Copies of this chain bind each other. A is one copy, B any other.
Amino acid sequence: MKEQQERKRLTIIGTGLIGGSLGLALKAAGLENVEIVGHDKDRGAANQAQRVGAMDRAEHNLLRAVEGASMVIIATPVLAVREVMQEIAGELVEGAVVTDTASTKAQVMQWADELLPEGVSFVGGHPMAGKETPGIEQAEATLFAGKAYCICPSLKATDGAVNSVVGLTRLMGAEPLFVDAEEHDQYAAAVSHLPLLVSTALFTLLRSSPAWADLAPMASSGFRDITRLASGDPRMSHDICVTNREAAVHWLERMAGELHRLRDVLADARDEALLETFTKAQMERDSFLAQPPVRVMEAATSTDARQELIHALVGGWMVDRMRKAQKLPELLKQREAAKGAQPGPTRAERIAEDIRRDLEKRSGRKEK
């Protein structure tokens, strides 16, 4: 592992829709003294990202791209995250922050734990935003604005590293949302991967029908919208499912069960129950849209996103030592409190405790 250089570099690996949008958002934020370097195994994509202003410089050699970087953002499909970690591990500087954007987190956290060196902080990330159309051509600086951005700190991540990723999300206008990796994968399976699978299943079912030529001319915006996710990047969809297999299977099962319930209601001519289902769904969805549930998070974190990110990029361990920050554990506690008291320490509390102990230990032993 090399010593951190004076140069502040932020490297984005994978310059497609997500990586490109991250770059555009960071460039739009106008970070001073920070060089944004982009790498993609598809050189054309990296060059294009540079052309559209998503980064200062495209670097086709992966190791040179991360050389001396204070922060590395891995924005590839899930399974590629592992390869990237393996390749860059030896090149990362002490105090570097590594984050990712993959749609599943437990597997990624495990790889980070196995593959990244001591002294590097991994903070998993998952922006709850996207488009079905992949590629740098679709990238937008505002893709993440107003969207939730899940943050899963590893046990070894310093508080400064966590703050820097929080700062990153805030710079893009996103709403950071702390969540345990396994919880994340369960929730994402329901609210994100199930919709992807349902969308794909519906399109596949109708497209393979012998009546397709007659059905298709009648398809309207309802059909197009509900099958939108079926046009997503197949490799990304595949990776998501195989790294969250159990949860995806579980929700597929439950969705089939719900369809069977509706089938029975219809077949048994329980028309009152049918009307009730539609009425309730409309009412509850409208109120969900009018007032989307949020977690207690905002007030607790610093609002000066730029300052946080800069500090983290510049200061590394120094910032951590000075702060002995208790912010994340507090946040996690507040969140648990907001969810109502539960018997015994929750998973989040255990993580909080781990992080606190880890920080204390480190601030004692990491003096240069």
- The A266-290 residues at the B interface (CB cut-off 8 A) are 266-267, 269, 271, 274-275, 277-282, 284-286, 288-289
Minimum CB–CB distance from A212 to chain B (whole Å) comes to: 8
Minimum CB–CB distance from A44 to chain B (whole Å) comes to: 20
Q: Mark A167-192, 1 if CB is under 8 A from B, else 0.
A: 00000000001010001101110111
A220 touches B207 (CB 8 A): no
Given contacts A192-B218, A220-B129, contact A266 B288 (CB under 8 A): no
Q: How many copies of this chain?
A: 2
* Interface: A248 (CB within 8 A): yes
Given contacts A192-B223, A213-B339, A281-B204, contact A128 B259 (CB under 8 A): no
Which of B129, B226, B267, B339 is A195 in contact with, Cβ under 8 Å?
B226
Q: Mark A40-76, 1 if CB is under 8 A from B, else 0.
A: 0000000000000000000000000000000000000
Which of B233, B271, B284, B339 is A207 in contact with, Cβ under 8 Å?
B284
Minimum CB–CB distance from A315 to chain B (whole Å) comes to: 30
Chain B residues positioned under 8 Å from A286 (CB to CB) = 231
* Interface: A147 (CB within 8 A): yes
Cα distance, A155 to B126, chains bound together (Å): 58
Cα distance, A184 to B217, chains bound together (Å): 11
A195 touches B190 (CB 8 A): no
CB-based nearest B residue for A287 = B207
A221 touches B256 (CB 8 A): no
Which of B179, B192, B263, B267 is A222 in contact with, Cβ under 8 Å?
B192
Chain B residues positioned under 8 Å from A275 (CB to CB) = 234-235, 238
Chain B residues positioned under 8 Å from A220 (CB to CB) = 128-130, 147-148, 191-192
- List 27 A-B pairs, Cβ < 8 Å: A129-B221, A184-B218, A188-B218, A192-B219, A194-B202, A197-B262, A198-B259, A203-B284, A203-B285, A204-B258, A205-B255, A205-B258, A207-B281, A217-B295, A219-B288, A222-B228, A225-B226, A230-B281, A231-B282, A232-B282, A234-B278, A237-B278, A242-B269, A249-B267, A252-B263, A256-B259, A256-B263
A residues neighboring B (CB under 8 Å): 128-130, 147-148, 150, 177, 179, 183-184, 186-188, 190-192, 194-207, 209, 211-235, 237-238, 241-242, 245, 248-249, 252-256, 258-263, 266-267, 269, 271, 274-275, 277-282, 284-286, 288-289, 292-295, 339
